A and B are shown apart, each in its own frame.
Chain A
């Protein structure tokens, strides 16, 4: 699981 959370959702 990637640690970085990308805020690409709405």
Chain B
């Protein structure tokens, strides 16, 4: 359906914006390494199911893309364009996010099986993975416009999945409660950012926190 397609496209575009921003400016200023590491974890734990579950060639290619691009971005951030200044303000305690997601995945899953727990873990972790990045924005008080486009596209992906789930619930009778709940949590976390993005960036102002 259209929402899912738009969501996936938005997800893809977000990564391309980020890669393009880093490569062109040859800098990772203002980008949270911790958030990027969390995304590697999210993609690895959710998408390694491609080794034992086949959905479609589209699904497989997208999974491979997200796993490899996220690892590549972390590689660029650590080795190629290391930025100690940015690292110093990247102080969000992600061990709590990882630990919390792990505990929640043990409690909420569809089956108490390794693959299912990993899947649930990735959903919980993804819902909060942007926090170090938003925390960094809050500390610096402003961001490069491209960085805000990246965050917006990344947030739009999960937000667009919400009407997709409603659509699938109506048309297929399928409901994935975990994905829906974590998707809503994620969208709420983004809501503040969306609001500022809409009011400032889209109207041509710089991204500055009020």
Contact = CB atoms under 8 A, between A and B. Distances in A.
B53 A7 contact: yes
Contacts of B179: 9
Prevailing SS type, chain B contact patch: helix
Contacts, number: 31
Contacts of B49: 7
- For the side of the interface on A, what is the size category? under 10
Contacts of B11: 10
B8 A10 contact: yes
A9 to B, nearest CB: 7
A10 B204 CA distance: 32
Contacts of A6: 174
A7 B47 CA distance: 10
Given A7-B53, A9-B179, A2 B66 contact: no
A6 to B, nearest CB: 7
